[in-house]
Amino acid sequence: MSAVAGGPVRVALLGFGTVGAAVGRALVENAGLYAGRLGVPLELAGIAVRDLGRPRDLGPVPGGLLTDRAEELVDAADVVVEVMGGIEPARSLVLRALGRGVPVVTANKQLIAQHGPHLHRVADEHRASLDYEAAVVAAVPVLRVVREALAGDRITAISGVVNGSTNFVLDQVARHGMAFHHAVARAGELGYLEADPTEDLEGLDAAAKIVILARAAWGVDVTLDDVQREGITGLDDEDFEQARGTGQVIKLIASAWRSGSSEPPRVELAVRPVRLGADHPMAQVREGRNVVQIESELAGVLRLSGEGAGGEATASAVLGDLMGAVRRVLTSRG
């Protein structure tokens, strides 16, 4: 650790897109609040970006914090927050930090889904922490419930609407009678879908999230290849008319469930469009909101819902993980 006992905790922020900007603003605007809660200041040591020349709305964030020297920034940090997305250079930078014993907080669902087990091994080897609550339905604390609140219970199934972009599309069709292709276009205009919407529409985003949840719930080494995946691009207006005619709603549901009683258990995973009765709790999830249902032997059925995407909602989860990481840094200082 490079932190000085009693001094500020230096935070490296990797990425300044929608989520990174929200995290950066919060660290600057709420500096007094965080210092009061932690007992020491948080110092935003720098913000790594790919293109320094790109125009950005920095708000209260000092422009001098921007750098394209990500490795140097990581090497000088006490905690690293990765919100740049993609696999590389995010993976290499996260490994660099963990290899130094530096805690990492990330919102990068594909990175965790594809490389999470290896990252955890490196973190364990160097006594670092790796947290990613924001990688699964943003501000809704699903991973915390699975790992902590239900640690003494046995989870039997997890399911939910975990992709706000596709839910917005399906909700526009179901509630407003919008043609499917028009709903997709509208979602793109409002920023629910990226310029390349494949990850959302083909169910890859939802698949990554259910993989992460299954690992947390059952400790199994499942991968994206284990997910029976079907997106919503194969749907047409006739599918929605048939559902409407029978009082049903189509939702993209991600699910994972125990199969058998062995330990470790056999786990099945799926992402697919499902017809639900209009009164089903998941059928009533509107626009970009998410809901996750957890079934366990002792607690029964739990449902958590809220904003599953967006800069501020995701930043809330990132900052929550950051507070935990900083407390571990302070503990290590002695």
- What confidence tens digit (pLDDT) does each residue in 71-118 have? 999 999 999 999 999 999 999 999 999 999 999 999 999 999 999 999
- DSSP category for residue 301: E
Rounded distance, CA 140 to CA 135, Å?
10
Amino acid at 211: V
Tokens of 289: 């909101």
User: According to the model, what pLDDT value does residue 194 have?
Assistant: 77
What six digits make up the tokens of 238?
Answer: 């006739």
Helix (H) or strand (E) holding 131: strand 130-131
Pick the CATH number of 9-138+313-333 from 3.30.465.10, 3.40.228.10, 3.40.50.720, 3.20.20.70: 3.40.50.720
The Cα 81–Cα 321 span in angstroms is 9
Is residue 195's pLDDT more than 80? no
Give mean pLDDT, residues 30-53: 96
Of the pLDDT bands very low, low, confident and very high (cuts 50, 70, 90), residue 5 is low
The share of the chain scoring above pLDDT 70, in percent, equals 98
Starting at the earlier edge strand, list the strands of the sheet with 155-161: 227-229, 266-277, 248-259, 155-161, 289-296, 300-307
What kind and span of H or E run contains 181?
helix 180-189
* Range with lowest mean pLDDT among 32-36, 145-149, 187-191, 202-206: 187-191
Residue 97 identity: A
Q: State yes or no: pLDDT of 1 exceeds 60.
A: no
- Mean pLDDT across the stretch 53-66? 94
C-beta of residue 254 within 8 angstroms of C-beta of residue 229: no
Could you tell me the pLDDT band of residue 6, with boundaries at 50, 70 and 90?
A: low
More confident residue, 332 or 315: 315
Question: What is the overall mean pLDDT for the chain?
Answer: 94
Helices first, then strands: H and E counts in the chain: 12, 12
Residue 2 scores a pLDDT above 50 = no
pLDDT bin (cut points 50, 70, 90) of residue 188 is confident
Q: What is the mean pLDDT of residues 158-169?
A: 95
CA dihedral for 321, 323, 327, 329, sign (positive or negative): positive
Contacts of residue 234, Cβ cutoff 8 Å, sequence gap at least 6? none
For the domain 142-308, what is the CATH code?
A: 3.30.360.10
- Answer for the pair 273, 201: CB distance below 8 angstroms, yes or no: no
Query: Where in the chain are the domains?
Result: 9-138+313-333, 142-308
Is the model's pLDDT at 240 over the cut of 80? yes
Q: What global pTM score does this model have?
A: 0.94
Write out the catalytic residue numbers.
209
Mean pLDDT of 44-73: 96
In this prediction, residue 21 carries a pLDDT of 96
Q: What percent of the chain has pLDDT over 90?
A: 88
Quote the CA–CA distance of 288 and 280 in Å, as a whole number. Answer: 17
Supply the pLDDT for residue 260: 74
pLDDT for the residue numbered 111: 98
